[in-house]
Amino acid sequence: MLKDLLKPEILDLIEAHRWTDLRDVLADWPAPEIADLVLHLRKEDRVLLFRALPRGTATDVFSHLELEQQDDLLRDLTDEETRHLLADLPPDDRTHLLEELPGQATQRMLNLLGPADLKEARWLLGYPEESVGRLMTPDYVAVRPEWSVREALSHIRVQGKDSETINRIFVTDERWYLLDDIELRHFILAPPNATVADIMDQSVVSVSAFAHREEAVNAIRRYDQFVLPVVDSDGVLVGIVTVDDVLDVQEEETTEDFHRVASVGPVRMSLREAPFQVLYRARIGWLLVLVFMNIFSGAGIAAFEETIQAVVALVFFLPLLIDSGGNAGSQSATLMIRAMATGDVRMGDWFKLLSKELAVALAIGLTMAVGVSMIAYFRAPEVIAVVAITMTIIVLVGSLIGMSLPFVFTRLGWDPATASAPLITSLADISGVMIYFSIATWYLGIGG
Amino acid sequence: MLKDLLKPEILDLIEAHRWTDLRDVLADWPAPEIADLVLHLRKEDRVLLFRALPRGTATDVFSHLELEQQDDLLRDLTDEETRHLLADLPPDDRTHLLEELPGQATQRMLNLLGPADLKEARWLLGYPEESVGRLMTPDYVAVRPEWSVREALSHIRVQGKDSETINRIFVTDERWYLLDDIELRHFILAPPNATVADIMDQSVVSVSAFAHREEAVNAIRRYDQFVLPVVDSDGVLVGIVTVDDVLDVQEEETTEDFHRVASVGPVRMSLREAPFQVLYRARIGWLLVLVFMNIFSGAGIAAFEETIQAVVALVFFLPLLIDSGGNAGSQSATLMIRAMATGDVRMGDWFKLLSKELAVALAIGLTMAVGVSMIAYFRAPEVIAVVAITMTIIVLVGSLIGMSLPFVFTRLGWDPATASAPLITSLADISGVMIYFSIATWYLGIGG
């Protein structure tokens, strides 16, 4: 096969660099065979032959090359040629190419894609859903440390027209490893003959393209920056995320948390626009789970039927007592969930916070015991002690459940906000029913 | 992360009080990480490390500490050190500090400020709490429309050194009326002989110094800007707000909303740092209110004592039914509260959303009626019809309460998030008890 390809007349045309004639000869060759031919040329001839091919054929041939040859070829093509090539490649070939190429080639490629392709490319590049890679844009300006400030500024003038933001300029070496970031104003304020290296402060905060987008949010917040460089696993600069994208992400994440805290599933659209089915699906799941969980509260009550029939007045205090446990627990859970979302509280803080929670919950429980005793005094004085003791214990137990569940869920790899108010309420109900009627049965000496 | 900070060599340097060596090690650490390190030192070591830091770094680190640590540090610094620190802080951070510190500390601080800073601080303090005026900084650069780009750039070079941000330059007339805003890059990209008027686009979004700070948040989000000019009631430029301040405000406001939804009052500090009294006060108020509200549930139960004594099995389903109303209501309320906070839903949308809410709630109620019927089938088949009808009505009523209350509260001038999950739960309990036992009494033909 190869021997057929390398017929003398073909070799002569190549030798003579008669690319136009060669194109005519190759016009009806299948792409895989042209690819084979390309493989057997000297490196410097490859790009010349490649350029001579019609655009569609060139793309086909490119698809049939090995990754290494593709990489070599790309290095020798102009930006314009590369852009055409990428635009013409079938999406899956493009993904494969972008995925497998070394970091600096990937980032050059991303720079060349138009905005519409970019969205697709980020998706195609295989960055996980909700990752920084999905959020980033390649519209930034990078300079080299050895350039003078004057050179850098004229590079910025040329490149800056397309850039999402040039308020922050990035410094990379020739392999696109991120070295530093410098605010544009430092270029303006520096003497024009200084080098970029002179105004570098050797301190740059970056985020991995594979990190969860919340990490970008936190980094931008923490370091008070408007723009954050994104690097791949080799430390090669592949894009930037800007604070306006982050604000949108933050709003989405916060809305998700709000919904979770109320046991609502993902809605992911305007509430005004959300159709019936989306709202129904988002709400029914947890509600049904909670109904079946509440069988246990019912079972608890059934177990104490004798006690209830002996002192029906006990039922008067039932919603009041079990709600209090749920309410105190919801408070604790929400305080924790929010503190975990903002990074104020971490997994390791559980034990440290436990003693404070116990103290606060005990104080709240005792205060509410006084309140419920006053109600019992007017209503059913025979159960004052029962409801007061029950209230204290229920608030304590509810708070502990509420405070701990977000940590437990985090440990299980779930979102801490899964410890929703309705879930806490149900758990507090179940424990509340057991505590209340156990104390009542024991204190009032009912049954055997 | 912290483990990285507390490497053995760092700990050794601290132990040995070798502050100068430590300073060298910390030279290229970002300020927030040094702040983390400071947080984990003994109190007596903190001020020593702090004194060892270069002045600029010390100020940055100070900005990243929690208020309490700032207060502690300030107590241990000499007047001279405090004056330097305050003079170096960006004005908006300084205002925030002065606002939040206990009275006597603020007083001491104001005494230490130079007359110029003092005037600025007082002026900044004159705007209402939570207003844009409290958030803004006067560190901006303004140019005149008749200047050439060259003149403007040299003005920016001189003024820019003190400015919080010069990424956006403001154009004013000689009376400081705000005319336009121009991004720094347009100055870089424009021909030096053009006038500022030539590169003006006559479009500027500004916010009033007296507006609520949430307005600045919304404007920055809406217009994807990093910096927003602040004007007084005459349209005179008085300052700027930057997106980093806005991110902090947004986080605070969102945390307040989260807490309100769980009936927790304002905490306004790190949960880890919050002392016992703050947490107790934030939580006890609503819990007590809700206990007394739940008397009505109890009274409802008492009114139906005869029904309960006739069919004690009804109590089995009590928590399950009333919780379902509360859960569905909490979902509706939270969906509305969040949509109102993000601006997705406004006051006028209530009626439009009502019919969708009714449809969704009815579908959810019917689904859950099927669920509870299955439970009743095995447990107490004589009440299947009662619990199924009750479930449907309770879910419908709970959802309507939950959906409408945020609108009612907004109309009353309160925060919609006051329609908290615990409040909705209590209201759903009261209506649930009445609905359940009314239907049971009527259906089972109990009493007269």
Which residues make Cβ contacts (< 8 Å) with residue A41, sequence separation at least 6?
Answer: A14, A49
Q: Is A161 found in the same domain as A63?
A: no
B271 within domain boundaries = no
Tell me how crowded residue A384 is: count the other CB atoms within 10 A of its CB: 17
**pLDDT tens track for B439-448:** 999 988 875 4
Q: Is A299 found in the same domain as A158?
A: no
User: What is the DSSP code string of B22-35?
Assistant: HHHHHTTS-HHHHH
CATH code where residue B118 lies: 1.25.60.10
For A2, A127, B36, B63, B315, the CA distances from B39, given in Å and listed in that order, are 71, 36, 5, 13, 53
The mean pLDDT value for A252-259 works out to 86
Q: Dihedrals φ, ψ of A232, to 5°?
A: -90, -175
The mean pLDDT value for B347-364 works out to 91
For A272, A296, A343, the CA distances from B352, given in Å and listed in that order, are 9, 39, 38
- Residues in chain B closer than 8 A to A421 (CB atoms): 261-262, 330, 421-422
Which stretch of DSSP H or E encloses residue A416?
Answer: none
Q: How far is CA B429 from the centre of its chain?
A: 30
Give the model's pLDDT for residue B448: 46
What part of B 318-347 touches A (C-beta under 8 Å)?
Answer: 318-320, 322-324, 326-328, 330-331, 333-339, 342, 344-345
C-beta atoms of B276 and A363 within 8 A: yes
- pLDDT over 90 at B146, yes or no: yes
Q: Is A227 helix (H, G, I), strand (E, B) or coil?
A: strand
- Closest by Cβ to B344, choosing from A272, A317, A323: A272
For A407, B39, B311, B376, the CA distances from B383, given in Å and listed in that order, are 40, 61, 9, 7
Q: Is A142 helix (H, G, I), strand (E, B) or coil?
A: strand
- Note if the pTM is more than 0.80: no
Q: What is the C-alpha to C-alpha distance for residues B263 and B417, in angstroms, rounded to an integer?
A: 9
What part of B 9-38 touches A (C-beta under 8 Å)?
Answer: 28-30, 32
Q: Which residues pair with B168 in a beta bridge?
A: B183
Q: Is B157 found in the same domain as B99?
A: no
- pLDDT over 50 at B222, yes or no: yes
Q: Dihedrals φ, ψ of A180, to 5°?
A: -165, 170
- Residues in chain B closer than 8 A to A302 (CB atoms): 313, 316, 379
Q: Give the mean pLDDT of chain B.
A: 83
A176 within domain boundaries = yes
Q: Is B171 found in the same domain as B51?
A: no
C-beta atoms of B336 and A271 within 8 A: yes
Structural tokens at position B196: 């500022």
C-beta atoms of A243 and B248 within 8 A: no
Q: Which residues pair with A395 in a beta bridge?
A: none
Q: Is B200 found in the same domain as B100?
A: no
The mean pLDDT value for B219-240 works out to 81
- % helix / strand / coil in chain A, to the nearest 5? 70, 5, 25
Q: Using the 3D structure, point to which of B178, B213, B248 is the last residue of a domain.
A: B248
Q: Using the 3D structure, point to which of A222, A247, A272 is the last residue of a domain.
A: A247
How far does A298 lie from chain B, in Å, by closest CA? 4
Paired sense of beta strands A178-183 and A168-172, if any: antiparallel
Q: Is B436 found in the same domain as B316?
A: yes
Q: What is the C-alpha to C-alpha distance for residues A227 and A216, in angstroms, rounded to an integer?
A: 10
- Residues in chain A closer than 8 A to B329 (CB atoms): none
Which residues make Cβ contacts (< 8 Å) with residue B415, sequence separation at least 6?
Answer: B257, B260, B409
Structural tokens at position B121: 């601080």
- Closest by Cβ to B271, choosing from A291, A339, A421: A339
Q: Hunting for tokens 């139960």 — which residue is that?
A: B301
More confident residue, B174 or B384: B384
Mutate to test the interface with A, among B151, B169, B188 (most CBs of A within 10 A): B188
CATH code where residue A350 lies: 1.10.357.20
A419 within domain boundaries = yes
Q: Is A421 found in the same domain as A322?
A: yes
B373 within domain boundaries = yes
Is B292 in contact with A319 (CB distance < 8 Å)?
no
Q: Is B169 found in the same domain as B310?
A: no
What part of B 259-278 touches A (C-beta under 8 Å)?
Answer: 259, 261-264, 267, 270-272, 276
> Shortest CA distance to A264 belongs to which of B180, B232, B332?
B332
Q: Using the 3D structure, point to which of B72, B96, B126 is the last residue of a domain.
A: B126
Q: Is B312 found in the same domain as B233?
A: no
More confident residue, B252 or B83: B252
Structural tokens at position B213: 């700070």
Which stretch of DSSP H or E encloses residue A358?
Answer: helix A350-379
Residue B8, class by beta-carbon neighbours within 10 Å (0-12 exposed, 13-18 middle, 19+ buried)?
Answer: exposed
- Residue B195 lies in domain: 142-248
C-beta atoms of A421 and B426 within 8 A: no
Mutate to test the interface with B, among A154, A163, A330, A427 (most CBs of B within 10 A): A330
B169 within domain boundaries = yes
Q: Is B448 helix (H, G, I), strand (E, B) or coil?
A: coil
Q: Is B308 found in the same domain as B391?
A: yes
Q: What is the C-alpha to C-alpha distance for residues B294 and B291, in angstroms, rounded to an integer?
A: 5
- pLDDT over 80 at A425, yes or no: yes
Is A83 in contact with A113 (CB distance < 8 Å)?
yes
CATH code where residue B189 lies: 3.10.580.10
Which stretch of DSSP H or E encloses residue A254?
Answer: helix A243-261
- Residues in chain B closer than 8 A to A153 (CB atoms): 188
Q: A104-108, B53-57, B83-87: which has the minimum mean pLDDT? A: A104-108
Q: Does A367 touch chain B (CB under 8 A)?
A: yes
The mean pLDDT value for A59-63 works out to 81
Is B290 in contact with B341 (CB distance < 8 Å)?
no
- pLDDT over 70 at B3, yes or no: no
Is A132 in contact with A210 (CB distance < 8 Å)?
yes
Q: Is B447 helix (H, G, I), strand (E, B) or coil?
A: coil
B149 within domain boundaries = yes
Beta-strand ranges (E) seen in B52-204 are 142-143, 168-172, 178-183
Q: Count CB pairs under 8 A between chains A and B.
A: 337
Structural tokens at position B109: 């601080």
Q: Does A202 touch chain B (CB under 8 A)?
A: yes
For A57, B220, B241, B306, B417, the CA distances from B249, given in Å and listed in that order, are 56, 12, 11, 55, 17
Number of folded domains that form chain A: 3
Tell me how crowded residue B231 is: count the other CB atoms within 10 A of its CB: 22
Residue B43, class by beta-carbon neighbours within 10 Å (0-12 exposed, 13-18 middle, 19+ buried)?
Answer: exposed
Q: Hunting for tokens 């009936």 — which residue is that?
A: B263
By percentage, how much of chain A surpasses pLDDT 70? Answer: 89
Q: Give the mean pLDDT of chain A.
A: 83
Model confidence band, residue A220 (pLDDT cutoffs 50, 70, 90): confident
**pLDDT tens track for B176-198:** 889 999 988 888 888 888 999 99
Mutate to test the interface with A, among B225, B240, B330 (most CBs of A within 10 A): B330
Q: Does B139 touch chain A (CB under 8 A)?
A: no
A409 within domain boundaries = yes
Q: Which of A335-339, B56-60, B308-312 has the highest mean pLDDT?
A: A335-339
Q: Does B280 touch chain A (CB under 8 A)?
A: yes
Q: Does B306 touch chain A (CB under 8 A)?
A: no
Q: Which residues pair with A170 in a beta bridge?
A: A142, A181
The mean pLDDT value for B50-73 works out to 81
Angle at alpha carbon of residue A41, lines to A39 and A45, rounded to 5°: 120
Q: Does A429 touch chain B (CB under 8 A)?
A: yes
Q: Is A173 found in the same domain as A66?
A: no
Half-sphere exposure of A96 (CA within 13 A, CB side): 13
Is B403 in contact with B357 (CB distance < 8 Å)?
yes
- pLDDT over 90 at B369, yes or no: yes
C-beta atoms of B287 and A327 within 8 A: yes
Q: Is B304 found in the same domain as B353?
A: yes
Give the model's pLDDT for residue B1: 43
- pLDDT over 80 at A339, yes or no: yes
A276 within domain boundaries = no
- Residues in chain B closer than 8 A to A223 (CB atoms): 30, 32
Give the model's pLDDT for residue A146: 94
More confident residue, A431 or B209: A431
- Closest by Cβ to A272, choosing from B262, B318, B345: B345
ipTM of this complex prediction, to 2 decimal places: 0.71
Structural tokens at position A127: 């960055």
